[in-house]
C-alpha cells in the first residue's frame, strides 16, 4: 500500500522545540519565520557546488538532525550505488544514502533549516508534499534552493547566477535573462512550484559553472551560492575558508589552462563574450557583476550535454 506523504519522513526529538514554538502561535504574523535551505545532490549540481555549500555549513556551524526521510523508498540504488566496505573475505559496512533535515545556527545564533541528501529518484510529489508538511509544522516562511548549472562562461570572471522565485518581489534586484524555456525537471524545482501554488515564499539561485569545470569541483561557485544565500535571507554565514579555497583553485586552473594553446584560446573567447555582455548591461546588479548569458538554445544544449555526461558516468 502506498505511503502517505507524512509517512516518508520521521521527526526526531530534536524537532520538539520547533514544533512547540509553532503550536504556540495564534496569529500568522507571529510565526517564527524560519528559513529552509535545500540543496539536493543530483544532475542539477554542476561541480557539486550546492552539495559542497551545505556540507560547508554543516561542518562549520552548530547543527542537529530534526528529521529523516525514508531514502529506501525515494532513492534508486542501482542508479547511484551506495558504497560498501569489503575487508578480506567479508562485507563490513553499508553507507546507506540519507536525506536529512538539520537545524543550524548561523554566526549570530539565528536558527535556520538545511535539507540535504540525494535528489529523490521516486515519488517526487509525495516527497514534495512531505517537505511542505514540515514547512507548515515547523514555522518555515521562506524556502531557498541552491543549485549549479554548466554554462559557457570563463573561470577568470566572477561567478554569476540565475535567480528564480514564486514572487518577483523576492528577487527584484536580480535581472531576468530569458523568456520561456523547456528544461529537464528536478525535485527541487517541483518543490518550489508546489510551495508557490500553496502561497509559501520559495526562491533559489543557480550558480553558473564554466562548462569545462562542471565535472570537477569549483569552490568559487560554492562561495557565490553562500554569498547569495546570505544576501537573500540575512543569515550570517562563514565563507572565509571557501574564499581561500577559491583563490587557490583559480591558480591551479590557470596553470593547467596555460599548458594548452587551444584551452587558452577557448577561455580568451569566453572572456571576450563575457566582457561584451557585461559592457552592454552596465548597471545591472548581481553582487556587482553580470556575466555571459547564452541564448535559450545554448542553455538547453548545455543542460543536455551535462545530463548526458552524468548518464554516461553511471553506466
What is the tens place of the pLDDT at every residue in 127-145?
A: 999 999 999 999 999 999 9
Q: Which domain holds residue 195?
A: 5-17+31-239+295-313
Confidence band of 292 (pLDDT split at 50, 70, 90): very low
In this model, does residue 67 exceed pLDDT 80? yes
The predicted model gives 259-275 an average pLDDT of 90
Over residues 240-246, mean pLDDT? 97
Residue 263: inside a domain: no
Burial of 12 (0-12, 13-18, 19+ CB in 10 A): middle
Residue 289 in domain: no
Q: Which of 130, 205, 126, 191 is nearest to 163 (CA)?
A: 205
Q: Evaluate whether residue 304 is within a structural domain.
A: yes
Q: Please list, residue by residue across 146-161, b when 16 or more beta carbons sit within 10 angstroms of its beta carbon and e when fewer do.
A: bbbbbbbbbbebbbbb
Give residue 285's pLDDT. 40
- For residue 284, being part of any structural domain is answered with no
Q: Domain for residue 249, yes or no?
A: no
Task: Give the cell for residue 83.
Answer: 558504497
pLDDT at 313: 56
Task: Pick the closest to residue 242 from 230, 232, 234, 260 (CA basis).
Answer: 230
Structurally, the chain folds into a number of domains equal to: 1
CATH number of the domain residue 36 falls in: 3.40.50.10900
Q: What span, in angstroms and rounded, lies between the C-alpha atoms of 292 and 92? A: 49
Nearest to 218 by CA among 285, 151, 308: 151
Query: What does the alpha-carbon distance between residue 295 and residue 166 come to, in Å, rounded to a whole number?
Result: 23
8 has pLDDT over 70: yes
Residue 255 lies in a domain: no
Q: What is the pLDDT at residue 28?
A: 61
User: Which one is predicted more confidently, 292 or 164?
Assistant: 164
Question: Is residue 274 within 8 Å of residue 291, measured between CB atoms?
Answer: yes
Whether residue 240 is predicted with pLDDT greater than 50 in this model: the reply is yes
C-alpha to C-alpha distances, 126 to 15, 28, 40, 123, nearest whole angstrom: 21, 26, 16, 5
Is residue 105 a part of any domain in this protein? yes
Nearest-angstrom CA–CA distance, 92 and 90: 6
Task: Please state, in angstroms and rounded to a whole number, the distance separating the CA atoms of residues 42 and 46.
Answer: 9
What percentage of residues in the chain have a pLDDT greater than 90?
73
pLDDT digits (tens, 9 = 90+) for 23-58: 887 666 666 689 999 999 988 899 999 999 999 999
Ranges 106-110, 162-166, 239-243, 303-307: which has the least confidence: 303-307
Which pTM value belongs to this model? 0.86
DSSP per-residue string spanning 198-245? TT-EEEEEEEEEEGGGTTS--HHHHHHHHHHHHHHH------HHHHHH
Residue 306 has pLDDT above 80, yes or no: no
Residue 200 has pLDDT above 80, yes or no: yes
Whether the predicted pLDDT of 289 surpasses 80 = no
C-alpha–C-alpha distance, residues 42 and 39, integer Å: 9
Q: For residue 45, what is the DSSP state?
A: B
pLDDT of residue 227 exceeding 60: yes
Q: What is the mean pLDDT of residues 223-232?
A: 97
- Rounded Cα–Cα distance for residues 236 and 229 (Å): 9
311 has pLDDT over 60: no
Give Cα separations from 219 to 36, 46, 97, 154 (angstroms): 22, 11, 24, 14
Residue 252 included in any domain: no
Amino acid at each position: 500500500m502506498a505511503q502517505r506523504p507524512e509517512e516518508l519522513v520521521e521527526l526526531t526529538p530534536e524537532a520538539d522545540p520547533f514544533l512547540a514554538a509553532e503550536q504556540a502561535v495564534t496569529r500568522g504574523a507571529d510565526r517564527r519565520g524560519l528559513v529552509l535551505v535545500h540543496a539536493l545532490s543530483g544532475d542539477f549540481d554542476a561541480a557539486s557546488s550546492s552539495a559542497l555549500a551545505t556540507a560547508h555549513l554543516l561542518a562549520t556551524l552548530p547543527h542537529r538532525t530534526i528529521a529523516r526521510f525514508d531514502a529506501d523508498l525515494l532513492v534508486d540504488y542501482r542508479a547511484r550505488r551506495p558504497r560498501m566496505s569489503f575487508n578480506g573475505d567479508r562485507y563490513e559496512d553499508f553507507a546507506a544514502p540519507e536525506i536529512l533535515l538539520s537545524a543550524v545556527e548561523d554566526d549570530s545564533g539565528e536558527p535556520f533549516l538545511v535539507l540535504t541528501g540525494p535528489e529523490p529518484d521516486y515519488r517526487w510529489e509525495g516527497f514534495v508534499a512531505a517537505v511542505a508538511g514540515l514547512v507548515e509544522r515547523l514555522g518555515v516562511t521562506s524556502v531557498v534552493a541552491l543549485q549549479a548549472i554548466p554554462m559557457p562562461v570563463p573561470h577568470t570572471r566572477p561567478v554569476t547566477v540565475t535567480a528564480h522565485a514564486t514572487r518577483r518581489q523576492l528577487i527584484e534586484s536580480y535581472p531576468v535573462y530569458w523568456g520561456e524555456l523547456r528544461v529537464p525537471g528536478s525535485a527541487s524545482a517541483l518543490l518550489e512550484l508546489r510551495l508557490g501554488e500553496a502561497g509559501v515564499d520559495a526562491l533559489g539561485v543557480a550558480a553558473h559553472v564554466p562548462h569545462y569545470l562542471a565535472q570537477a569541483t569549483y569552490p568559487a561557485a560554492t562561495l557565490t551560492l553562500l554569498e547569495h544565500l546570505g544576501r537573500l535571507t540575512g543569515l550570517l554565514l562563514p565563507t572565509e575558508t571557501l574564499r581561500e579555497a577559491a583563490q587557490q583553485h583559480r591558480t591551479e586552473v590557470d596553470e593547467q589552462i596555460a599548458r594548452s594553446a587551444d584551452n587558452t584560446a577557448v577561455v580568451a573567447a569566453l572572456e571576450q563574450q563575457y566582457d561584451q555582455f557585461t559592457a552592454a548591461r552596465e548597471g545591472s546588479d548581481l553582487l556587482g557583476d553580470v556575466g555571459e548569458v547564452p541564448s535559450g538554445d545554448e542553455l538547453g544544449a548545455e543542460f543536455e550535454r551535462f545530463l548526458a555526461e552524468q548518464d554516461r558516468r553511471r553506466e
